[in-house]
Structure 1
Amino acid sequence: MTSATNTGSRARGSASLKHRLAERGVDTKLLLLVPAIVFALLLFVYPFAYGIGLTFQPLAGTQDQWGGGIFANYVAFFRDDFIFDSVWLTLRLALPAALFNVLVSIPIAFKLRSKFRGKRMLQTLLVLPITLGTVLTAQGLLIFAGRQGWLNRFLLENGIIDQPLQLVNNYLGVMLSLIISGFPFAYLLISSYLSGIDPSLEAAAKTLGANWKQRFRRITLPLLAPGLATTFILTFVLAFSVFPSARLVGDASGETRVLALMAYRAFSEQLDYSMASTIAMMMGVVELIVIAFVFLGRSFLYKGSTGGKG
């Protein structure tokens, strides 16, 4: 009898404790978040904080050359033309590549919404480059479009050109690589957002006499705007962090001297870990600025939600 009484008292005490915690907004199920929080702290927060700390520990040579004390790395970043110009060189690659992938994906995604024979095969071909990776894509470009590649040999043997076309080891080569590797992501994301738009909205507009341009401009585009913004941001970030393509099919010391290459050189060649960390942090700052402008522009176009599963 006493044992049963003690058991009942413990149960009531546990229940009342949960009730008191719930009244204070504390749910014991939140303890399930502890592993995720620890994981984020160890793999994201700590490395980020450590990287920021490194930026304020410049080498003595950097301080002597640029001054600025603990901010010498940032002074060097903005005053050294060889480093700072890489910001514009990277944007010159990433922005057009992301914009091209998004704009080309829109009509293709629209076309593939309907059912037709060979649709699955075409979709497979469109997303196949995802499986290749940037290194294999760059190698394929060198084999196909290099000076001794298949394309140049075919054109030369048929007398179409007199000199091999310079399609790689320059700006064009990196741009082609970014388009090939980034287009599948843009297409899949836009297709997903399109699937979340109710087709009955366009059908209703069509019955009211709206042509396809009016339906797209007044219905589809505003509903698709959040998805287009997200797709552009993701493809831009993917292109902005380009490294293998810029090194393998670009001009690493010239027009494709991207920020990732500058950080790699500071880290591996100059052994200046603090400067490499500074460049990496500034990469993040530039990306955040572009993302902020994209979200600002989207807010002027449409402030609602897609209203669907996309």
Structure 2
Amino acid sequence: MSTVALRHRLAERGVDRVLLLLVPGTVFIALLFLYPFLYGLQLSFQPAVGGPLANYERFFTDAYLRDTIWITLRLGLPAALINVLASIPIAYRMRGRFRGKRLITTILVVPITLGTVLTAEGLIEYLSPVGWFNKVLLGLGLADEPVRLVHNYWGVLFSLIITGFPFAFLLTLSYLSGIDPSLERAAATLGASPRQRFRHVVMPLLAPGLAVTFCLSFVLAFSVFPSAIMVGEPQGETHVISIAAYNSAFRDFDYPMGSAIAMIMAVVMLLVIGLVLLWRTTLYRGSTGGKG
């Protein structure tokens, strides 16, 4: 069949030829994501001992493994929430034009280039018991002994905030830039104060975008691994679910159990994302009066 005939055939069936450009991307996603996911899923139902659900039963009956869900949520949810909330006022101010904007934006996104490992090393250098932060506190007499800010929960949380904030900031800035400034000017002509304009005009339009930003930030934080080891307590209060999956697969060489934990990890993330997107849909319907 000639190219011209194929084009006519597609046109008759109402198929946009531009959609064919999605084929390579679809194949790439299938090979890179779907196949490993489906392979891991079926592997999780092949335990070394017991029935098909033995790995899942073992996970939820073992308190040390089961608690990794709560430990990871306790890190991921606050980190995502803090990053989103912190990005709002900064992005709101940065959306306009002013001198030094590019420099400030560059400084804010620098942690992306550093990576998780360098960030963790920096936290150890500055926040450890012999780091400059504790030296300042002790020197000023604000503390009698060094404050423990690394190799615990706080070290991992700080690392997640530092590495995750640039993504939340850039996404929030892009959503704010898409809001028509004339809407705020119209509200101003009606006597609305800056705070009222932000609360009643900007935030309702920004909220759906913030929900997506929170979801992406949460996925990044929930999959924490290097930080939990380098600046956390991997066998204790920062024994996150990714460490449990790694230990099962590569320390104990129990790949079916590691796959089962990875599947549980994915389900927890999808549940949180689903709840946030459900809130986003409800919010959108409320703002449009249930129309559409």
Report the TM-score, using the length of structure 2 for normalisation.
Answer: 0.91
Runs of at least 4 residues of structure 1 off by over 4 A?
Answer: 14-18, 25-34
SS of corresponding position for 1:147: coil
Alignment of structure 1 residues 139-154 onto 2, 5 Å: 139-154=121-136
- Alpha-carbon shift at residue 288 of structure 1 (Å): 0.7
2:275 alignment partner in structure 1: 293
What per-residue deviation string (whole Å, max 9, x for no partner) do you get for residues 224-274 of structure 1? 112101110110000000000000000111111111110111011111101
Question: How many residues align structurally?
Answer: 287
Match of 1:41 in 2: 30
Q: 1:155 aligns with which of 129, 132, 137?
A: 137
CA distance in 2, matches of 1:249, 1:258: 13
Aligned to 1:196: 178
1:256-295 Cα shifts (integer Å, max 9, x gaps)? 1111110111011111101111111111111111111111
Tell me, in whole angstroms, the C-alpha distance in 1 between the residues paired with 2:234 and 2:271: 25
Q: Secondary structure at the match of 2:53?
A: helix
Q: Trace 1:172-251 onto structure 2 (pairs within 5 A).
A: 172-251=154-233
Q: Which residue of 1 aligns with 2:290?
A: none
Paired residue type of 1:55: S
Q: CA deviation at 1:107?
A: 0.6
CA distance in structure 2 between the aligned counterparts of 1:15 and 1:123, rounded to whole angstroms: 49
Equivalent of 1:137, from 119, 124, 129?
119
1:7 aligns to what?
Answer: none
Give the corresponding residue for 1:272.
Answer: 254
Distance 2:24 2:93 in 1: 44
Q: Say whether 1:23 aligns with 2:5.
A: no
The answer for unaligned runs of 5 or more in structure 1 is: 1-9, 64-68, 306-310
One-letter amino acid of the counterpart of residue 186, structure 1: A
Quick one: which amino acid aligns to residue 216 of structure 1?
A: F
Structure 2: gaps (5+ residues): 288-292
Contact 1:223 1:302 (8 Å CA) reproduced: no
What do residues 112-147 of structure 1 show as CA deviations (whole Å, max 9, x unaligned)? Answer: 223333322222111111110000000000011011
What percentage of residue pairs aligned between the two structures are identical? 60
- 1:40-189 alignment to 2 at 5 Å? 40-60=29-49, 63=50, 69-189=51-171
Moved more, 146-155 or 24-33: 24-33
Closer, same or farther: CA 21–212 of 1 in aligned 2, 3 Å? closer
> What is the CA–CA distance in structure 2 between the aligned matches of 1:19 and 1:178, rounded to whole Å?
53
Indicate conservation of the 8 Å contact 1:266/1:275, yes or no: yes
TM superposition score normalised by structure 1:
0.86
Q: Secondary structure at the match of 2:52?
A: helix
Cα deviation for residue 16 of structure 1 reads 5.6
Change over 3 Å in CA distance of 1:200–1:38 after alignment to 2: closer
Q: Secondary structure at the match of 1:257?
A: coil
**Range with bigger deviation, 116-125 or 232-241:** 116-125
What RMSD, in angstroms, separates the aligned Cα atoms of the two structures? 2.2
Code of the residue aligned with 1:181 in structure 2: it is T
